[in-house]
Each structure stands twice: as structure tokens, then as C-alpha cells.
Amino acid sequence: MLSREDFYMIKQMRQQGAYIVDIAAQIGCSERTVRRYLKYPEPPARKTRHKMVKLKPFMDYIDMRLAENVWNSEVIFAEIKAMGYTGGRSMLRYYIQPKRKMRPSKRTVRFETQPGYQLQHDWGEVEVEVAGQRCKVNFAVNTLGFSRRFWPMLSPGNMQTICRYTASQKYTVVREWS
């Protein structure tokens, strides 16, 4: 949204005969925005910020729950609703959202393996449309533990087809023993 000064500058430049393209370039907005602002008789009113009057008595409790690492707004909403809160969920979400940056991140440690020691095999089934007919496609993905390279396999048949094919392949593992 442009400022009031920009609104009056658009109006003034247009009265002086400036083209919409030139006005947009000078203000730093799109031509569509300039056209829209030219239609307004007065500068558009700014949207008011959310006033958290109903939430104010419960802010200390909410902050305490956030400090206890409870970040689910639905859980907190149910708790403060039982305490007498009459506002809505969105007000609570507006209050919690900027504080989510303070939430401690969940760090994961990558499980490292030596080359050739581990392989992860995942499989699943999806339903797709092929030539106008819906059919199930089974898939499997082998992921190597060290390099994270993967090998996807698809089969219109069942999982046994993929397993038999995978078992028939010769895997060569080269290991260095020290």
C-alpha cells in the first residue's frame, strides 16, 4: 500500500499530464497500482492493526505456556477458553506468530555410515491416470547411507515384482578393511 504522499503525488503528476508509465516508474510501483489510485477520490484508509483487548488478561499465561514449549495455538486456545477467554482463535494466532522465531529449533544429527555399509529401502503406492484409466503404481526407492544417492523403481504390478527384481540384482560392495 502506498503512502498518502504517494497518492497525492500520483494525482498531481497526472493533472500535469504525465503518462501512467512515467508515474509508475517514478513512484516505484506498477501501472495497475497507479490506475487504481487514480480512481480513488481520497487516499485509501489504512487497515487498522489488530487490537488485543480481549487477549490482554491472558497474555502472561500464554507467555508462560510458550516458555514451557507449548506452541500449538489450538491447545492454548482451549486452555484460555476454559479460563474465560471470549475472543477468537485468530487473535491468539496473531499474538503467537511473531514469537515463533524464539522457539528453539529441533536439531537433527545426520547418521553417518561408511561407504557400502547401509542402504535404506522405502516403498509406496500411488494411484495415477494413464491413457484415461486409473491404475495403481507401486514404487520403491533405495537410498545409500553414505552418499545419499537413490535408485527409484516403478512397477505397475505389486510390490513382490519390485522385491524380486531387486533381489535378482547383484550388488557389489567394495570395502576397505584396516
DSSP reduced 3-state for 31: helix
Query: Could you tell me which residue, 141 or 35, shows the higher pLDDT?
Result: 35
Domain boundaries, the chain: 4-39, 56-102, 119-168
Q: Give the pTM.
A: 0.40
Element (DSSP H or E) covering residue 49: none
CA angle 62, 74, 76 (to 5 degrees): 20
What percentage of the chain carries pLDDT values higher than 70? 85
pLDDT at position 166 over 90:
no
**Is the per-residue pLDDT at 91 higher than 80?**
yes
Residue whose C-alpha cell is 491413457: 131
Summary mean pLDDT of the chain? 84
Mean pLDDT of 85-100: 90
Please give the pLDDT value at position 178.
44
Highest-pLDDT range among 107-111, 141-145, 170-174: 141-145
Better pLDDT: 125 or 62: 62
Q: Which residue has the higher pLDDT, 36 or 44?
A: 36
* Section 107-119 average pLDDT: 77
Cβ–Cβ < 8 Å for 79, 96: no
Count how many Cα atoms sit within 13 Å of the Cα of residue 162 in the half-sphere of its side chain: 20
Using pLDDT thresholds of 50, 70 and 90, give the confidence band for residue 169.
Answer: low
pLDDT band for 81, please (50, 70, 90 cuts): very high
- Asked if the model's pLDDT at residue 59 lies above 90, the reply is yes
Main-chain dihedrals φ then ψ at residue 126, nearest 5 degrees: -130, 155
Buried-exposed string 97-132: b where 16+ CB fall within 10 A, e elsewhere:
eeeeeeeeeeeeeeeeeeebeeeeeeeeeeeeeeee
Is 80 exceeded by the pLDDT of residue 174? no
